[in-house]
């Protein structure tokens, strides 16, 4: 080959030499030129890799953007700009194609379209072909539901099939197939709706004799039990009972089954599957209601009741006893029922039948569940293997649920069973392994962790996440229970993943920080003891212990011979650190189990805590004492209860001075508090059971209590309780300054000191929080203890020798008289408030009562209240204002003055309405507060005045005439008062040139002023001379000349007030503004600068069609939102406001009760702001509609008309015809109803009600709710919410005595289905006492409300919720607060109540039946006292029939000719009514609720109720 002609180097030796030198030097340092322009030949492969990766990422990003662009691209299937009338040219495919595309992208929409298309196609089938087609389609539906579907699309498809079956019940398969298909596909709500429709269709579950079997096939009895039993057979059957019931006709009514409590086996299968789905939805109360409906023995009901209480040990014992009786030939179930503590309505005949096979199966499954909840894993394993001896059979259809899960769980939890589990898993076939991976990926991940096969564990974690997403996606947002159940397993898998990530990096074992971070995150992340099950807690705890054990072993393998690891980590530190967190996990588990009432599990884990602790610490002692006292309270035996309390006291007394007990400084105060609490509880036992039993129990355990006599023993126990609580308070006061300096901004509200103390953290902030929590608790507990003793003494007769007496009436030696106790209450409660205790705020009404009873304490109250933030008293402004004219009023002036200066608009309206009466009794105090409140804020005064003139002038005139009438008929007449009233009326109603008065007001004044002044004189001189008859004729004449328009209408605001119309906040100085009323709740510190201010008012008002013509006024806030309020004139809204305040206090009592909190039982409240005695505003509730309107709309649909009114129902005419049999219809409603009360018997009344029920469709409200619901999930949610709010409102309104509950006074909230009660004009029993036709029912529970719940009854959806609510309100703390809040009715009685009291006294004197309670007493004080006394009886469990008869006795109906008939009607018939069989006081809240429902639904009462109440609806 020749030389390259372009190679210049070969022609110049010098150049060659220079180049060679250059190349040799460039090997070490390239030239700038080379670096700049030449590409280096020495390029690392990593550069090419990075460039390739970058290019790949850019390409993937571009592809993703392109795909997203295509996905988001709008596809135009048809352009509608074709011709002038495009709809004429619309083709079918133009509709189908967009829907088809939408269905491809949205499975839920696809399911709805599928249902609609099927419904349309099915309706096109001819009647001749439909029968054969129906049979074929039913078979297809059955096959679809029997498949084991999984995945989003299939879940939606199964849901669509269930919806189709619901729309066409003739396509419905057997209930077992529905239940299993619903469970497998997570379509629980849809399955529930379908099964309930089947039960309603079949008349409570019984197939009709003619065609129900063909239409709705039900599996035979053999298929209802999934597992064969060779050793246990049912000894009885309901076939004969079903046959006898079905003789009545083609169908069996729901009532027949409820009365007999026996269901045919086919109906029982429906109910069993329904119960199964409700169990999956975690609707425990409904499940218990179904059980009470279908079970034939008390075993099922008793066991389920204990399960709901969390008493799994008792439930297990009941199940085992029931199963053991099955092996006893000829066992007498009737005798078992009669000896049982539970007897439904006092009738044990319903329990004389042996359990059905499905009931026995429920016992067996319930027993296994109880064993699991109790953590008895060996027992669970043994019972599982007893039922399924060969584990390979667990994959059979009859055993896979629930035995496969129990088998895996019981083996995972016990280390000794791991080899057996590993052997089982290793022998599985591929098909069986697939089933396990599909059903239990999280459990398999744990098994892999145990075997330390971490890669396989990661695989199962990924499998779990994939399955979770598939199962989560189709769950409806309102399927909260199903969603919660899915989420409960998530924490375990997340922690498995965290553990696997930790062990996957060796660097995590070279320093302390990673391990600290991991365990610290776990320590701050525990399940919820209220929402999560004990098994969830046990899974988290057991798995964490397992992870820590593996970490300990791995650290040990990595350490050297000297016990050191890389990074200087000591193995001793690892051991100590892991042991600390292990103890903490055990302790938190024990605390949670105790809070869930699972005392067995709590005891087990506390033993583990003690076993793993090097020494006993105070938090452990505290938990032990709490557990033991809880066991004592749970004991039904009085002696056992006392013994347990005394033993707990001995234990803590022995540990108090034990040198081995480690009590840190910040635990000393909780220790004193615990001792004080123990002695206070034993003191309570002394009062209830006598000090002799306490002394005897103490001596039996070697505990010495000083005192030679029982009285001295009681005094010593009180002294010890007082001493230790005082020490706790003193210690908190000593550390107050140091804690305050290091804890600014910490509140400690709601903290659990026990949970906090169980933590291993010893940081200073943790210590400060503990001190704050314990400090306010010590003051509050001491105050409550002293208050309890004070109330006990006040209930005893006062000794003439000394007020310093115990309950025995004898002199005491520890110097604690009533006034000293009251002083302790006042001092400690106010100190607790100063420290930020939220609970102490609710004691303020009690403090006001104490300083009123013991006037010398008022000065101490005034001194101690200094320095407490005034906002804490906002909630009780009305109570404080009512005392201003009393001797203790001076002590409250400082608080009110501070409120007036700091939060003037919180005090303005309450003060303005109270000052109307206080100006006469406390003029100086009123003048001082007016100087601070009224004068600096003229806008507020103008605002109130112009709200008053929004009342129609006709109504204002009538109200003035009522007041003027009383002055004219008074003897002697007060002419000056009449003239003053004349001037007030003239200025308010008949002044034509009043500025900014409003066009309608001016028009009325112009039209009637001449007649007014002509009749009364320009200065009122003629009015003085008018007699009563001429005055009344004048009023009637004026009112008849001006008729107001009826119905709801829109008007302009300027018709009533130009000032409101023209108001603009911007036109006034920044210091002058009006806050939107209702923002001062007293629940937290208000910040007025952040409050919404009124900017202007909407020019349009909505005038309601009711009698007083209230008006909806929209207030425009400075936040650019509208706030509608209802302006009500001519009414004193203080009653409504106080009722709302009582409801809010009740809500807080319900929120602190675990059962009520879990079920979200509460009453919806709204703001009521009385401004004067003549006007007030009420918060307008959006998204609501009256129940009456909903029912009338459904009546219009039913009768195919545009509008239908309840008054047009034939049922009303039937009622009036029936009344005519007992009197003259022209005599007026009062005499007519009174004659009916006397003459009509129970049989006639019940028959009349039955005729009315035949006229009115029973499911009108149910249809209305269905029209609001968009899916089965939403319907169930709305129904359950309706039932819960109905139950809670019924109980709360019964306590307050709310009456006049016609359908206009109930609203339904569209968003959540909650029931809202409005208009509380009749409260505290006035509807029974003063209405011409007395209300004899405790609350409204008429047919539409109960039918709405069908096929469930009140037992399932109402009774249990009512019981929980009533029990929560009857707790001593809740009861005391409610009664203290009610005390304002005595201190500041309403004007209406004063009138009613005077009327009652007058009418009873007229009949000669005046009660001794009214003689010689101030009626204005006696009347509210009697009301509160009746409310107290309700809270103490009195029979509602006894309450109603008491109200009748002290009413306008007392002493009348029909009083005895009213008593008989209310008391009921012992053969029919449970309330007639119960004494004056009920034994339990449940019995009281049963009496309430019995009285509310009694047809003998409903049939006699006032027609305007529409009791037949």
pLDDT tens for 1479-1490 read 999 999 999 999
Give yes or no for a contact between 1303 and 1206, defined as CB atoms under 8 angstroms apart.
yes
Per residue in 778-794, pLDDT tens? 889 999 999 989 988 88
Number of Cβ within a 10 Å radius of residue 889: 21
Cα–Cα dist 211/216, whole Å: 8
Cα dihedral value 868, 874, 879, 885, nearest 10:
70
- The residues, ordered by sequence, that sit 6+ positions from 1439 with a Cβ below 8 Å of its Cβ are 1475, 1478, 1479, 1480, 1481, 1482, 1488, 1491
pLDDT of residue 133: 86
Q: How far apart are the first and last CA of the chain?
A: 115
Element spanning 1209, H or E: none
Cα–Cα dist 676/658, whole Å: 18
Q: Quick one: 339 exposed, middle or buried, by C-beta within 10 A (0-12, 13-18, 19+)?
A: exposed
Structure tokens at 1480: 């004056």
Give yes or no for a contact between 318 and 299, defined as CB atoms under 8 angstroms apart.
yes
Starting at the edge strand found earlier in the chain, the sheet holding 1306-1309 runs 1184-1186, 1306-1309, 1315-1317
Give yes or no for a contact between 1230 and 1452, defined as CB atoms under 8 angstroms apart.
no
Q: What percentage of the chain reaches a pLDDT higher than 70? A: 82
pLDDT of residue 589: 95
pLDDT of residue 69: 77
Give yes or no for a contact between 802 and 771, defined as CB atoms under 8 angstroms apart.
no
30: cis peptide before it, omega within 30°?
Answer: no
Residue 1186 has pLDDT above 80, yes or no: yes
- The residues, ordered by sequence, that sit 6+ positions from 1065 with a Cβ below 8 Å of its Cβ are 1073, 1074, 1093, 1094, 1095, 1096, 1118
Of 287-291, 415-419, 1170-1174, 1338-1342, which range is least confident?
287-291
Per DSSP, the three-state class of 1096 is strand
Give yes or no for a contact between 1482 and 1263, defined as CB atoms under 8 angstroms apart.
no
pLDDT of residue 594: 92
Cα–Cα dist 668/656, whole Å: 10
Q: What is the rounded average pLDDT of the residues 727-734?
A: 80
- The residues, ordered by sequence, that sit 6+ positions from 806 with a Cβ below 8 Å of its Cβ are 711, 714, 715, 718, 793, 812
Cα–Cα dist 678/630, whole Å: 12
Helix/strand/coil (H, E, C) string of 1301-1328? CCHHHEEEECCCCCEEECCCCCCCCHHH
Top-ranked range on mean pLDDT: pick from 250-254, 927-931, 1227-1231: 927-931
Cα–Cα dist 431/1064, whole Å: 77
Q: Which residues pair with 1227 in a beta bridge?
A: none
Question: What is the number of H-type helices and E-type strands within the chain?
Answer: 75, 9
- Candidates 43, 749, 1253; CA nearest to 1245 is 1253
Number of Cβ within a 10 Å radius of residue 202: 25
pTM confidence score: 0.84
Residue 337 has pLDDT above 60, yes or no: no
Give yes or no for a contact between 472 and 526, defined as CB atoms under 8 angstroms apart.
no
Q: What is the rounded average pLDDT of the residues 85-101?
A: 72
- The residues, ordered by sequence, that sit 6+ positions from 1184 with a Cβ below 8 Å of its Cβ are 1307, 1308, 1309, 1310, 1316
Phi-psi domain of 1200 (left: phi exceeds 0; alpha: psi -120 through 50; beta: other): left
Give yes or no for a contact between 814 and 715, defined as CB atoms under 8 angstroms apart.
yes
Give yes or no for a contact between 616 and 610, defined as CB atoms under 8 angstroms apart.
yes
1196: cis peptide before it, omega within 30°?
Answer: no
pLDDT of residue 1409: 53
Per residue in 503-525, pLDDT tens? 999 888 888 899 999 999 999 99
Q: What is the rounded average pLDDT of the residues 1349-1353?
A: 81
Top-ranked range on mean pLDDT: pick from 322-336, 688-702, 878-892: 878-892
Per residue in 999-1052, pLDDT tens? 999 988 888 888 888 888 888 888 888 787 878 777 777 777 666 777 789 999
pLDDT of residue 343: 40
Cα–Cα dist 153/160, whole Å: 11
Indicate the pLDDT class of residue 663, thresholds 50, 70 and 90.
low
Indicate the pLDDT class of residue 262, thresholds 50, 70 and 90.
very low
In the block, residue with structure tokens 């005394």: 646
Q: What is the rounded average pLDDT of the residues 7-27?
A: 41
Give yes or no for a contact between 193 and 1275, defined as CB atoms under 8 angstroms apart.
yes
Structure tokens at 1503: 């049939």
Structure tokens at 267: 């109906």
Number of Cβ within a 10 Å radius of residue 790: 23
Of 596-600, 731-735, 1138-1142, which range is least confident?
731-735
Cα–Cα dist 1442/1449, whole Å: 11
Of 231-235, 707-711, 1506-1510, which range is least confident?
231-235
Cα–Cα dist 1422/1394, whole Å: 10
Cα–Cα dist 193/1301, whole Å: 30
Structure tokens at 995: 């500025």
Give yes or no for a contact between 611 and 549, defined as CB atoms under 8 angstroms apart.
no
**Length of the chain measured in residues:** 1513
Q: Strand locations in 1156-1214, DSSP E?
A: 1168-1170, 1175-1179, 1184-1186
Cα–Cα dist 1137/1385, whole Å: 12
Indicate the pLDDT class of residue 1093, thresholds 50, 70 and 90.
very high
Q: Which residues pair with 1474 in a beta bridge?
A: none
Indicate the pLDDT class of residue 248, thresholds 50, 70 and 90.
very low
Cα–Cα dist 380/385, whole Å: 9
Cα–Cα dist 576/748, whole Å: 30
Per residue in 1373-1399, pLDDT tens? 899 889 888 887 777 676 677 777 777
Give yes or no for a contact between 345 and 325, defined as CB atoms under 8 angstroms apart.
no
Q: What percentage of the chain reaches a pLDDT higher than 90? A: 36
Residue 396 has pLDDT above 50, yes or no: yes
Residue 1131 has pLDDT above 80, yes or no: yes
Tell how strand 1094-1103 and strand 1049-1052 pair up.
Answer: antiparallel
Cα–Cα dist 537/371, whole Å: 15
Of 839-853, 886-900, 1220-1234, which range is least confident?
1220-1234
Residue 809 has pLDDT above 50, yes or no: no
Task: Tell me which DSSP letter residue 602 carries.
Answer: H
Cα–Cα dist 52/703, whole Å: 84
Q: Positive or negative, the Cα torsion across 795, 799, 804, 806?
A: negative
Top-ranked range on mean pLDDT: pick from 388-397, 984-993, 1095-1104: 1095-1104
Radius of gyration of the chain (CA): 39
């Amino acid at each position: 080959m020749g030389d390259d002609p372009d190679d210049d180097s070969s022609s110049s030796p010098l150049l060659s030499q220079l180049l060679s030198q250059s190349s040799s030097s460039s090997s070490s340092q390239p030239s700038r030129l080379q670096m700049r322009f030449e590409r280096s030949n020495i390029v690392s492969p990593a550069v090419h890799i990075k460039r390739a990766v970058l290019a790949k990422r850019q390409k993937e990003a571009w592809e993703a953007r392109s795909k997203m662009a295509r996905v988001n691209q709008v596809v135009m299937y048809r352009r509608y700009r074709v011709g002038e009338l495009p709809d004429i040219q619309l083709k079918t495919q133009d509709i189908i194609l967009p829907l088809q595309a939408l269905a491809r992208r949205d499975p839920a929409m696809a399911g709805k379209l599928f249902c609609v298309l099927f419904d349309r196609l099915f309706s096109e089938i001819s009647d001749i072909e439909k029968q054969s087609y129906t049979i074929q389609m039913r078979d297809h539906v059955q096959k679809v539901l029997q498949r084991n579907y999984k995945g989003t699309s299939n879940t939606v498809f199964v849901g669509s099939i269930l919806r189709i079956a619901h729309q066409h019940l003739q396509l419905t398969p057997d209930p077992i197939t529905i239940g299993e298909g619903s469970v497998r596909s997570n379509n629980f709500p849809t399955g529930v709706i379908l099964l309930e429709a089947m039960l309603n269709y079949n008349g409570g579950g019984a197939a009709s004799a003619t065609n129900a079997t063909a239409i709705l096939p039900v599996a035979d009895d053999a298929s209802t039990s999934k597992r064969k039993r060779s050793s246990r057979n049912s000894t009885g059957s309901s076939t004969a009972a079903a046959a006898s019931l079905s003789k009545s006709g083609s169908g069996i009514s729901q009532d027949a089954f409820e009365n007999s409590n026996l269901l045919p086996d086919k109906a029982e299968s429906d109910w069993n599957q329904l119960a199964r789905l409700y169990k999956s939805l975690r609707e425990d109360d409904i499940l218990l209601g179904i059980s009470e409906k279908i079970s034939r023995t008390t075993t099922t009901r008793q066991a389920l009741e204990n399960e709901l209480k969390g008493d799994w040990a008792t439930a297990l014992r009941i199940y085992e006893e029931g199963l053991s009786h099955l092996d006893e030939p000829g066992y007498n179930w009737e005798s078992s029922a009669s000896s049982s503590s539970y007897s439904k309505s006092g009738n044990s005949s319903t329990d004389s039948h042996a359990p059905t096979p499905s009931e026995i199966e429920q016992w067996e499954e319930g027993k296994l569940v109880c064993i699991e909840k109790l953590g008895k894993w060996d027992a669970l394993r043994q019972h599982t293997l007893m039922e399924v001896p060969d584990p390979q059979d667990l994959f059979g259809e009859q055993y896979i649920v629930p035995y496969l899960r129990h088998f895996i769980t019981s083996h995972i939890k016990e280390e000794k069973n791991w080899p057996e589990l590993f052997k089982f898993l290793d022998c599985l076939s591929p098909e069986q392994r697939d089933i396990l991976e599909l059903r239990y990926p999280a459990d398999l991940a744990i098994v892999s962790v145990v075997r330390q096969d971490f890669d396989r564990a990661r695989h199962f974690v990924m499998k779990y996440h994939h399955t979770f997403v598939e199962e989560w996606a189709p769950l409806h947002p309102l399927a909260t229970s199903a969603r919660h159940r899915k989420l409960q397993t998530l924490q375990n898998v997340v922690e498995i993943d965290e553990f696997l990530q930790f062990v996957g990096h060796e660097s995590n074992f070279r320093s302390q920080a990673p391990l600290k971070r991991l365990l610290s995150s776990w320590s701050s992340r525990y399940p919820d003891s209220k929402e999560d099950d004990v098994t969830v807690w046990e899974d988290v705890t057991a798995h964490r212990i397992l992870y820590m054990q593996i970490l300990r072993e791995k650290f040990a393998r990595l350490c050297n011979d000297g016990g050191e690891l890389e990074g200087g980590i000591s193995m001793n530190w690892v051991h100590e650190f892991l042991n600390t967190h292990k103890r903490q996990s055990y302790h938190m588990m024990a605390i949670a189990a105790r809070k869930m009432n699972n005392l067995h599990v709590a005891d087990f884990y506390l033993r583990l805590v003690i076993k793993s602790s090097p020494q006993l610490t105070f938090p452990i002692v505290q938990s032990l004492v709490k557990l033991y006292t809880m066991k004592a309270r749970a004991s039904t035996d009085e002696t056992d209860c006392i013994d347990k309390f005394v033993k707990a006291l001995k234990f803590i007394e022995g540990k108090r001075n034990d040198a081995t007990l480690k009590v840190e400084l910040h635990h000393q105060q909780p220790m004193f508090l615990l001792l004080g609490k123990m002695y206070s509880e034993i003191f309570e036992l002394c009062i209830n059971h006598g000090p002799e039993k306490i002394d005897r129990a103490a001596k039996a355990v070697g505990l010495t209590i000083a005192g030679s006599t029982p009285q001295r023993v009681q005094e010593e126990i009180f002294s010890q309780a007082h001493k230790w609580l005082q020490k706790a308070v003193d210690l908190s006061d000593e550390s107050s300054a140091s804690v305050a300096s290091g804890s600014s901004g910490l509140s400690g509200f709601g903290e659990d000191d026990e949970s906090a103390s169980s933590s291993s953290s010893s940081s200073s902030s943790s210590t400060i929080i503990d001190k704050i929590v314990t400090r306010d608790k010590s003051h509050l507990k001491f105050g409550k203890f002293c208050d309890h003793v004070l109330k006990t003494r006040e209930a005893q007769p006062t000794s003439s020798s000394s007020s310093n007496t115990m309950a025995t009436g004898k002199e005491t030696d520890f110097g604690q008289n009533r006034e000293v106790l009251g002083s302790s209450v006042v001092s400690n409660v106010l100190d607790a408030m100063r420290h930020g205790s939220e609970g102490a705020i609710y004691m303020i009404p009690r403090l006001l009562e104490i300083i009123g009873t013991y006037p010398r304490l008022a000065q101490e109250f005034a001194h101690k209240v200094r320095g407490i933030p005034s906002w804490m008293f906002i909630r009780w402004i009305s109570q404080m204002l009512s005392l201003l004219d009393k001797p203790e009023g001076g002590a409250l002036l400082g608080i009110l003055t501070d409120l007036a200066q700091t939060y003037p608009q919180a005090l303005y309206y309450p003060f303005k309405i109270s000052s109307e009466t206080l100006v006469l009794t406390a003029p100086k105090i009123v003048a001082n507060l007016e100087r601070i409140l009224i004068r600096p804020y003229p806008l507020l005064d103008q605002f109130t005045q112009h709200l008053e003139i929004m009342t129609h002038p006709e109504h204002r005139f009538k109200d003035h005439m009522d007041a003027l009438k009383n002055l004219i008929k008074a003897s002697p007449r007060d002419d000056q008062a009449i003239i003053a009233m004349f001037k007030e009326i003239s200025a308010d109603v008949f002044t034509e040139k009043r500025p900014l008065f409003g066009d309608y007001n001016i028009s009325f004044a112009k039209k009637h002023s001449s007649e007014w002044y002509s009749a009364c004189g320009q200065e009122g001189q003629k009015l003085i001379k008018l007699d009563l008859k001429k005055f009344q004729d004048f009023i009637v004449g004026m009112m008849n000349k001006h008729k107001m328009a009826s119905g709801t209408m829109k008007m302009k605001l300027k018709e009533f007030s130009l000032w409101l119309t023209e108001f603009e906040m911007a036109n006034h100085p920044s210091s002058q503004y009006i806050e939107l009323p209702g923002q001062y709740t007293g629940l937290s510190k208000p910040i007025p600068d952040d409050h919404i201010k009124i900017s202007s008012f909407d020019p349009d008002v909505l005038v309601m069609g009711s009698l007083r013509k209230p008006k909806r006024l929209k207030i425009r806030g400075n936040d650019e939102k509208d706030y509608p309020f209802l302006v009500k004139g001519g009414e004193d809204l203080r009653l409504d406001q106080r009722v709302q305040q009582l409801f809010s206090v009740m809500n807080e009592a319900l929120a602190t009760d675990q059962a009520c909190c879990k079920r979200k039982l509460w009453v919806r409240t709204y703001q009521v702001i009385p401004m004067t005695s003549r006007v007030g505003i009420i918060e307008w509730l959006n998204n609501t509609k009256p129940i009456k309107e909903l029912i009338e709309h459904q009546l219009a649909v039913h009768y195919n008309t545009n509008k239908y009114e309840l008054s047009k129902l034939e049922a009303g005419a039937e009622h009036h015809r029936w009344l005519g049999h007992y009197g003259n219809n022209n005599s007026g409603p009062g005499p007519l109803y009174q004659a009916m009360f006397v003459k009509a018997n129970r049989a006639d009344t019940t028959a009349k009600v039955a005729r009315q029920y035949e006229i009115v469709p029973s499911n009108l409200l149910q249809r209305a709710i269905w029209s609001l619901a968009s899916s089965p999930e939403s319907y169930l949610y709305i129904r359950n919410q309706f039932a819960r709010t109905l139950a809670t409102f019924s109980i709360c309104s019964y306590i307050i005595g709310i009456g006049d509950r016609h359908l206009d006074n109930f609203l339904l909230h569209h968003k959540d289905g909650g029931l809202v009660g409005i208009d509380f004009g009749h409260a505290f029993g006035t509807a029974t006492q003063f209405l011409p036709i007395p209300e004899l029912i405790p609350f409204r529970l008429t047919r539409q409300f109960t039918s709405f719940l069908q096929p469930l009854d009140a037992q399932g959806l109402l009774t249990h919720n009512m019981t929980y609510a009533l029990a929560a309100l009857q707790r001593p703390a809740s009861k005391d607060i409610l009664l203290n809040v009610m005390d304002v009715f005595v201190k500041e009685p309403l004007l209406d109540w004063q009138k009613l009291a005077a009327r009652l006294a007058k009418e009873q004197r007229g009949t000669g039946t005046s009660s001794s309670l009214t003689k010689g007493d101030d009626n204005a004080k006696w009347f509210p006292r009697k009301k509160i006394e009746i409310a107290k009886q309700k809270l103490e469990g009195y029979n509602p029939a006894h309450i109603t008869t008491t109200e009748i006795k002290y009413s306008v109906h007392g002493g009348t000719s029909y009083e005895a008939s009213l008593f008989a009607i209310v008391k009921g018939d012992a053969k029919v009514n449970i309330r007639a069989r119960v004494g004056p006081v009920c034994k339990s809240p449940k019995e009281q609720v049963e009496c309430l429902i019995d009285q509310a639904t009694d047809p003998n009462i409903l049939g006699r109720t006032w027609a305007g109440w529409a009791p037949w609806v």
